[in-house]
Structures are given as C-alpha cells and as structure tokens.
C-alpha cells in the first residue's frame, strides 16, 4: 500500500510540476505587460528572472526533495511584490498573492502556504511602514486610511485566505489518500477473490490430476507386478531397497517384505563361486557403466537357478552414485537347454568324426582287399608266367603273351578301383554326365531299374566341392541300396531353382526304422557331407515303404572345412 501511495504522490507531483511551468510563464509575461505602464522593464526582467532562476535551479539540483516547492511558494510572494512595485503600490496587485496561494493547492501540501504568507506579511509590514512614515524617495500610492488597525485587518484576512488554502490542500490530500486506499483495498479484495477463484479452480484441477495420477500409478503398479522379470531399485546411500516387483517370489522364493527387511539377502542368495563377480560389477557401476551379468543363486528352497541381470546406475549432480535400477530374469531353462544343445552338438560332432574315420578305414580296407585279393594274385600269376618263360625257351612266347594278358587285366582292375575312389569325369564333363556314367556302370552288373531326371540349367553356378559332395552322396547311397534295400527301382532327380539345388534319391526297397538306423556309418557319412556344404537333408523311410533322401543346397555358399575326396 505504501508503495502504491508513493507512486500516486509521484504522479501528482509530476503533473503539478508540468502545470507550474505554464503558471510561471503567465506570471513572467504579466510582469512584462505591467512594464508598459510605468516603464519598469528592469524590475520585470531582473526580479522575474531571478525568481525563475531560483525555482528551476532548486528543482534541477534537488528533484527528489520538496525544497524547490517551498522556493516556488516564496517566488509567488515575490512576484506579488514585483507587480505592486511595478504599479507603484496599486492596491489590486495584492490579489496576485491569493492567486498564487490557490495555485499551490495542486501540490496538496498545506505547508507550502507558509513561505508565501511570510513574504506577504513582511512585504505589507515594510511598505505599510514606509507609507505610514511618509517616505517620499519611492513613489507609492498614498492611502490616508492605511493605519495600523487597517494593516492588521489586511494581515488577518490574508492569513485566513492562506489558512483556507492550506486546509483545502490538506483535505484534498487526505481525501485522495482515503479514496486511493479504498480503491486499493477494493482492488486487493477483488484480486483476493480472483485468486480464491483461481485457487478453487486449481484445487479442482489438482484433484483431477491427482486422481489421474493415482490411476496411472495403479496401472503402473499392476504392470510392475505382473511382469515375469524381477524389477527393483536400490538406494546406494543407505543401501536400502526402494521397491521390488512381486516376481521376486517366483524367481528367488522370497517375498517383497523379506527383501525389504534384509538388505544382505542378495549376497546370501548368490552362489559362492559367483560372489567374486559382485566386486567387479560394483566397480563398473561406479564408473557409470550399465552392467550385464549371468550368475547362479540358491532359492529359499535351495534350488539352483541361473539369473540374468541388468543393472543401470543413476548419478546426482555431484557425480555420486545414488541409485541402482535392475532387471533380473530366471534363465535356468534356457541355460539347461543351451547346455543340452552343446552336449548334443558335441556328441553329434563326435559321431560325425567317427563316421568320417570309419569311412576312411572302410575305403582303406576296401582298397587293401582289392589289391590283396584281386590285383595281387593277377600280378603274381603274371610274374610266375614270366619266370617260366625264362626257363622254357619253347613256350617262352606263349608264356610272355599270357603274362601280358594278366598285366592288362591287372591294369583294368586298377582303373576300375581308382574310378570308384575318384570320379575322373567331374574334371572333364558335367555333374549330370558323371552321375549318368555311374548309373550306366551300375546297370551292367545289377538288375535294378534306374530312372533319372536332370533339370539343371547352369552348372557354372555350382562349386566344385558341391559337385563332388553330390557325387559322393549318390555313390554312398547307391552302395547302401545295393547292400541293404533289395530295391527293384531307383529314381534319381537333380533340379536347379534360382540359387537352390534340389537332389532326391528314392528307392522302393524294404526301408528301415530311421530312428534306429540314423546313426549308421553310411547315413552318417551322407549327413556329414551334406552339413559340410551347408546343405539340409531329410530322410523319409519306414519298414516296407522304401526310402527317400531329400537334399537342398545353396548354389553359392561357404564351406565349414575342405571336403575330402
């Protein structure tokens, strides 16, 4: 309120100062006009100019003080004296003092009536005395009736006028301040009422927001407690659990209350062998890193579980770790499955290795048997004939010819043996021609009907190792069919589709139980060769229903290892 009143008085003073510029201009102009009557130009310029200098100097150097206003009041009285002197004591000029007193009311300060009253009283006393004693050095209008009693009546009337002007100034000030105070109070009450209305409105909005926030909180809590993973937050300053989801009961076997009451429960649950990892994890969190860990825990029922955990650190403005948020998930089934798959993969790899070694040994055994039981006797017979030819001159030519025949037979047998081990046609002719060549040789010695279907558009897309793999697979399967299937017909198809190659071998033999025969050496060789070319094989067979091998290969691929011929 005080500030409000000060602003009002400042505005009032500024407006009065602006009006006073016009009043002083009129006073100065009046002095100049009066100079025409008695040629008092020096008085008009001298006294009037000094009055203006005195007022504006005080106003310029002390704008925030009220001294310049008191100087103004005295200047109003001096202007009256100036006008009386210019008119040689003209009685009517006294009224200019009353005009000045009325003008000063606009400042609403009754004390401003004092300087002008003092000037007027001193002026009247001085000039009344001069007139009373008959001073004739300066010309004044002589009043015969101007005695002491008349002088006192004039002074009393002037004082009454100044008093009334001061009273009006004071009343105007008090009235305006009261009105201003009432307006301020009304405005304040209106502001308070408006603020109350806004507060009521804000209260309703806050109430609605709180309801919405509570609803969102309930939904979040429902989601928080419905997920299978354990969600939790820990205050690192006092090492207390802030909150943890209900999933802790199913994952760890302990309730939320048990976790909250025992801050050391995390360490108790941890498997002793995995506890050294805890220190490393804490060091990473202190450096601001998000940590991922996989460790074992013992549940409340002493069951061993695998836990996968993600820990996220939170820092304050001083780079101090204040909170850790975490997600824990039970991955026991996944770990068991991974271990089972790793074990099965190891067993399978071992079986593939054994199959490859067995195949190598079979090839070596076959090669040894062929050399020992077939080629070696032929060469031994040729050697015997040659030795006989040396001792018997008459039969030498015949024996040499017979020896040559045995040697040619041995060479033929060696050629057949090498052809069964390494397909010479793949380096010279196409894959389909090599397969046809194999089929033609089988037709010569076996009474099985072979049906072939080749649909290959561009063999240039085939890797040499892929061609050899397909040739060896067919060679292995033909060997299986001839030994075990008792088949009457075999259908072989090779079909190229974009970047895929489909290969099928189907027979109408006795078939077999794939679950028991799948680990056989022949099939293991086929599966091993297929996987080494990143291919896929499916075996469709059952007892009495024949067998079909279905292969799929990519025509552009990478091999895991070199394929052995």
Query: What DSSP string runs through 189-237?
Result: HHHHHHHHHHHHHHHHHHHHHHHHHHHHHHHHHHHHHHSSSEEEEEETT
Percent of all residues in the chain with a pLDDT value above 70, rounded to a whole number: 84
User: What is the pLDDT, as a whole number, of residue 191?
Assistant: 81
The listed range with the strongest mean pLDDT (44-58, 89-103, 334-348) is 44-58
CA–CA distances in Å: residue 62 to residues 65, 117, 467: 5, 23, 113
Q: What's the whole-number mean pLDDT along residues 321-330?
A: 84
> Nearest 5°: phi and psi at 88?
55, 45
CATH classification number, 429-565, choose in 3.30.565.10, 3.90.1150.10, 3.30.450.370, 3.40.50.300: 3.30.565.10
Fold adopted by 230-330? Beta-Lactamase (3.30.450)
The listed range with the strongest mean pLDDT (278-287, 389-398, 439-448, 480-489) is 480-489
User: What is the pLDDT, as a whole number, of residue 64?
Assistant: 83
- Between 308 and 406, the more confident residue is 308
Helix (H) or strand (E) holding 451: strand 449-455
User: What is the pLDDT, as a whole number, of residue 339?
Assistant: 84
Query: Six-digit token pair at 351?
Result: 């079986």
**Distance between CA atoms of residues 79 and 30, nearest Å:** 10
- Between 245 and 349, the more confident residue is 245
**Distance between CA atoms of residues 26 and 172, nearest Å:** 25
Domain positions in the chain are 2-189, 230-330, 334-421, 429-565
- 464 torsion bin: left (phi>0), alpha (psi -120 to 50), beta (else): alpha
Decide if pLDDT at 494 tops 90. yes
pLDDT tens digits, 133-185: 666 655 455 555 556 676 677 788 888 888 888 888 888 778 877 877 777 77
Decide if pLDDT at 564 tops 60. no
Decide if pLDDT at 420 tops 70. no
Query: Six-digit token pair at 135?
Result: 């001073």
Tokens 């606009």 belong to 106
- 284 torsion bin: left (phi>0), alpha (psi -120 to 50), beta (else): alpha
Cα 469 to its chain centre, rounded Å, is 53
Decide if pLDDT at 55 tops 60. yes
Q: What's the whole-number mean pLDDT along residues 8-19?
A: 83
Lowest mean pLDDT among 7-16, 60-69, 309-318, 412-421: 412-421
User: What is the pLDDT, as a whole number, of residue 550?
Assistant: 93
Lowest mean pLDDT among 62-66, 199-203, 441-445, 524-528: 441-445
User: What is the pLDDT, as a whole number, of residue 422?
Assistant: 57
pLDDT tens digits, 537-551: 999 998 989 999 999
The listed range with the strongest mean pLDDT (226-230, 360-364, 519-523) is 226-230
Q: Which residues contact 73 (CB under 8 A, 6 or more apart)?
A: 100, 104, 112, 113, 114, 115, 116
Decide if pLDDT at 467 tops 80. yes
pLDDT tens digits, 231-275: 888 887 777 887 788 887 878 888 878 878 787 787 778 888 887
| Total-model pTM | 0.37
């Amino acid at each position: 309120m005080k500030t409000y009143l000060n602003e009002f008085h400042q505005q009032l003073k500024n407006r009065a100062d602006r009006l006073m510029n016009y009043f002083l201009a009129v006073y100065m102009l009046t002095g100049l006009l009066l100079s025409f009557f008695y040629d008092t130009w020096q008085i008009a310029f001298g006294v009037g100019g000094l009055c203006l200098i005195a007022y504006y100097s005080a106003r310029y150097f002390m704008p925030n003080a009220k001294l310049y206003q008191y100087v103004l009041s005295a200047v109003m009285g001096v202007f009256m004296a100036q006008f009386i002197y210019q008119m040689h004591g003209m009685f009517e000029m006294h009224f200019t003092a009353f005009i000045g007193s009325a003008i000063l009311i606009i400042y609403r300060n009754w004390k401003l009536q004092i300087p002008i009253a003092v000037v007027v009283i001193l002026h009247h006393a001085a000039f009344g005395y001069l007139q009373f004693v008959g001073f004739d050095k300066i010309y004044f209008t002589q009043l015969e009736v101007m005695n002491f009693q008349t002088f006192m009546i004039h002074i009393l009337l002037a004082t009454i006028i100044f008093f009334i002007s001061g009273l009006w100034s004071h009343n105007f000030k008090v009235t305006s301040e009261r009105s201003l105070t009432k307006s301020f109070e009304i405005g304040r009450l209106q502001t308070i009422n408006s603020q109350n209305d806004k507060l009521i409105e804000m209260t309703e909005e806050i109430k609605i927001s709180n309801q919405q926030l509570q609803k969102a909180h309930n939904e979040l809590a429902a989601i928080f407690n419905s997920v299978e993973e354990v969600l939790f937050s820990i205050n690192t300053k006092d090492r207390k659990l802030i909150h943890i989801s209900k999933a802790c009961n199913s994952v760890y076997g302990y309730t939320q209350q048990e976790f909250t009451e025992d801050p050391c429960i995390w360490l108790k649950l941890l498997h002793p062998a995995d506890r050294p990892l805890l220190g490393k994890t804490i060091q990473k969190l202190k450096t601001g890193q998000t940590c991922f860990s996989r460790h074992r825990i013992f549940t409340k029922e002493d069951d061993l579980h695998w836990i996968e955990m993600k820990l996220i650190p939170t820092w304050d403005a001083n780079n101090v770790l204040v909170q850790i948020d975490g997600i824990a998930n039970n991955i026991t089934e996944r770990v068991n499955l991974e271990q089972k798959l790793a074990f099965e993969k190891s067993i399978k790899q071992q079986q593939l290795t054994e199959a490859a070694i067995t195949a190598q040994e079979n090839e070596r055994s076959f090669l040894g048997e062929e050399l020992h039981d077939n080629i070696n006797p032929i060469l031994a017979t040729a050697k015997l004939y040659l030795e006989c030819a040396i001792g018997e001159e008459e039969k030498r030519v015949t024996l040499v010819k017979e020896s040559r025949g045995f040697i040619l037979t041995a060479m033929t047998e060696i050629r057949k043996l090498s052809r069964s081990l390494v397909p010479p046609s793949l380096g010279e002719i196409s894959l389909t021609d090599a397969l046809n060549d194999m089929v033609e040789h089988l037709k010569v010695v076996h009474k099985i009907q072979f049906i072939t279907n080749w649909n290959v558009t561009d063999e240039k897309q085939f890797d040499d190792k892929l061609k050899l793999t397909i040739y060896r697979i067919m060679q292995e399967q033909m060997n299986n069919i001839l030994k075990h299937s008792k088949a009457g017909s075999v259908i072989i198809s090779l079909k190229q589709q974009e970047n895929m190659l489909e290969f099928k071998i189907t027979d109408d033999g006795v078939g077999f139980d794939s679950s028991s025969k799948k680990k056989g050496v022949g099939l293991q060789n086929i599966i091993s060769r297929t996987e080494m070319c990143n291919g896929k094989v499916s075996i469709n067979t059952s007892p009495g229903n024949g067998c079909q091998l279905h292969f799929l290969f990519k025509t552009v691929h990478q091999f895991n290892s070199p394929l052995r011929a």
